[in-house]
Amino acid sequence: MPTNLLLLLLFGVRVLAICPPMCTCSRGHRAVDCSARGLAILPDSLQHNIHFLNLSHNRLQDLDGLLNHFDHLRTLDISYNHLHHLPVGLPRALWDIRASGNYIRQLEKNDTAYHWNLQNLDLSHNLLERVVLINNTLSNLQSLNLSHNKFWTVPTNMPYNLEMVDLSHNYLLQILPGSLDRLPKLSRFYLHANRFTSLSIGVFSRLDGLQLLTLGDNPWACEDEENINHLLTWMQQTPAKILGCPCYTRPTCGEAHLATRRTWHSAAFTEPPLGAGARHPGHRAPIQVVTSGYLSKSAQLNVGQYPSAVNTSGPGEQVLNVGGGFLTSTPHSLSTQSSTTIRTRSTKKVLPSRARSTSHQIHICSFETTILSLLSTVVILCAC
């Protein structure tokens, strides 16, 4: 009898311990926060009907098969651990998976093959070079964050209901034709801070729902008119807002109505579309390149070669004082025939004959001034 009583007491304590001692629980113990606890293994005594589990900022290396029995789990945060792959056997009820800041190198199709309910997937700040997605199984996926990885090309076969894709801060060089043709709901597309020099014709033409596109911090080959002009023409016609316009000296373009101006505008830097690491809104850096970060030899604006004095500019020209130099910018209309390379104008040259005439006049004026000064002195002395 004492043995049975002891077992009953131990079982009772086990049942009551629905929140692990190293974690904090809320919402009726269904939201469990075990973040930043130095955990190397999954805490035990977790309730099976939890909805939210935060395991971020720990030392977890392997969670394979340890989470599959949490049938009611909606949000799982396993970011900033030591994981080398997405855990096997994650609950199929998940809506939100946050796995940024790990060491994940690839995503196989079986890793997400049964997550019909998944809406948000964050795999940023990993070592991903390729992902294999099955668009008909991830039918509810709306947000995909693959920023700060090692992609060389935009992933293909992305789920068709996506509304936001972040591929910024990768090594992207190209977008394969047709890769974006089945994304009618994509409204926000982040491609800044990559290695694009040009893009294929019509690569964005099927993105009917596009509202925001970021293209800054890419080394666009603006001197290659044959390959870049079609992109510049599309930017004038799209209703989407574009941050970091290739070969422009302004941070924002697109939105269709902006094309009616058909002029070049000056801006100091490309505005970071995403808040992390953004410059202070009031900060104006010297004009150096069209898109900050990667230097494009065709998009450099060298302001150090101009004199410190201001010359008279012609009609339509604006003189900007930047870092001790002056940059003259003249409005240009954009067409597929005109050059897309940004050029700076130096101050107007003075013809040699005019220069000599001006110099002669200066000497005469100087001599007459000296004579008048001497005569004035003589008159004053005589009066005395």
Give me the pLDDT at residue 18, please.
82
Give residue-wise pLDDT tens across range 113-126. Answer: 889 999 999 999 99
Q: What letter would DSSP give residue 203?
A: T
Coil, strand, or helix at residue 348?
A: coil
47 vs 60: CA distance, rounded Å = 20
**Quick one: CA torsion of 117, 119, 125, 131, rounded to 10 degrees?**
60
pLDDT in tens, 129-188: 999 988 788 999 999 999 999 999 999 889 999 999 999 999 999 999 999 999 999 999
| Mean pLDDT rounded to a whole number for the chain | 74
User: In angstroms, what CA-CA distances link 84 with 20, 26, 63, 162, 173?
Assistant: 26, 30, 10, 26, 26
| Residue 330 reports pLDDT greater than 90 | no
DSSP states along 66-94: SSTT-TT--EEE--SS--SSPPTT--TT-
- Averaged pLDDT, 335-354: 39
What per-residue confidence (pLDDT) applies to 97? Answer: 98
- pLDDT single digits (tens) 33-91: 999 999 999 998 899 999 999 999 999 999 999 999 999 999 999 999 999 999 999 99
Cβ atoms of residues 235 and 254 within 8 Å = yes
220 closest CA partner among 208, 205, 235: 235
**Contact yes or no for 61/83 (Cβ under 8 A):** yes
Tell me if 290 sits within 8 A of 271, measured CB to CB: no
Alpha-carbon span 183 to 180, nearest angstrom: 6
Contacts of 246 (CB under 8 A, 6+ apart): 215, 218, 220, 222, 228, 231, 232, 235, 290, 291
**Can you give the pTM of this predicted structure?**
0.65
Report pLDDT digits (tens) over 215-245: 999 999 999 888 899 999 999 899 999 999 9
What's residue 378's pLDDT? 60
Q: With CA atoms as reference, report the closest residue to 326 among 350, 304, 349, 297.
A: 304
Quick one: what percent of the chain has pLDDT higher than 90?
53
